[in-house]
Each structure stands twice: as C-alpha cells, then as structure tokens.
Amino acid sequence: MKEALKNEYGDVIVGTVFSFTRTISQTHVKIFAELSGDFNPLHVNKEFGVKSKFGKNVVHGMLTASLFSQLVGMYFPGEKCLYLSQSMQFKMPLFYDEQVEVRGTIVGKVDALKMVKILTEIYRGEDLIILGEAKTQFQ
C-alpha cells in the first residue's frame, strides 16, 4: 500500500497501485440508511435478510462504493484532487462485518487536462465486489 500522495501531476506513474482495508459493520449500515434514507429491508431488517436469497442482510452497494471517495480523497491524488466521475459495476453482495480491500490502479493520464484515470476495485478476499473507473483532476 502506498501512502497518500502529496506529489504533483508530473510525479504520477501509470501502474501505481494504492489500497487500504476496511470492515463495514451493521452500525455503519444503520448510519448510512439514516443519511441516505434507504431503509430497504434487505439491508436493515434481520428477518427479511434471513428470508432473502442471500440468507442474511446485505450492505448497501452505495455504502461499499463510497469507499472510493476515501481512496481518491486520501490516498490518490489526495488533497490536490477534483473527483470528476466514477463508473461502477456491482459484481456481488457484501455482508456485515466482512473486510474488504479498496484498490486503485493508475491506468492513464491526460496531460493537457492534468487528469488521471484510475481502475477502482473492491475485493473481499479474492472475490471482486465492485469494479469501476474514476477520473480525477489535479488542481
């Protein structure tokens, strides 16, 4: 894992990987439900979760994906970042108290705009949970 960059755009190297781990708890899910207004019982009602095809409650996909904000804002490019866009594909569910690795790989640069393209991924062990691409711009 790389430390948060304080570098300039010219110091960015394609292929560099940044990552951190995080565990999302039931408390996090409840707070996210309050903030987002998404009280879908699949996320917050134990009895409903048990009867679902997953057999338990599922963490909100957008809560899990929100970890990309920490990746971009704190690890790369960090304080010199303007987050332009984020695409995502939700590949599989995440459940309470599972640890994930949030990973960003620099895959491209657009020098004229000081823009960086980042492959964004969230893994639970070997399982890819969310796949996407972020575009950020150095300020």
Domain ranges of the chain: 9-138
Q: Which residues pair with 88 in a beta bridge?
A: 132
Determine phi and psi for 81, rounding to 5 degrees.
-100, 140
Cα gap 50→81, rounded to integer Å = 41
CATH, domain range 9-138: 3.10.129.10
Contact 82, 88 (CB under 8 A): no
* Confidence at residue 30, expressed as pLDDT on a 0 to 100 scale: 96
Band of residue 63 on the pLDDT scale cut at 50, 70, 90: very high
Please tell me the distance from the alpha carbon of residue 17 to that of residue 32, in angstroms, as a whole number.
28
Read off the pLDDT of residues 6-47 as tens digits, 9 standing for 90 and up.
567 888 899 999 999 999 999 999 999 999 999 999 999 999
Whether residue 111 is predicted with pLDDT greater than 60 in this model: the reply is yes
3-state secondary structure (DSSP) of residue 105 = strand
Specify the pTM: 0.89
CA nearest neighbour of 122 among 100, 92, 107 = 100
Q: What angle do CA 114, 117, 122 make, to 5 degrees?
A: 145
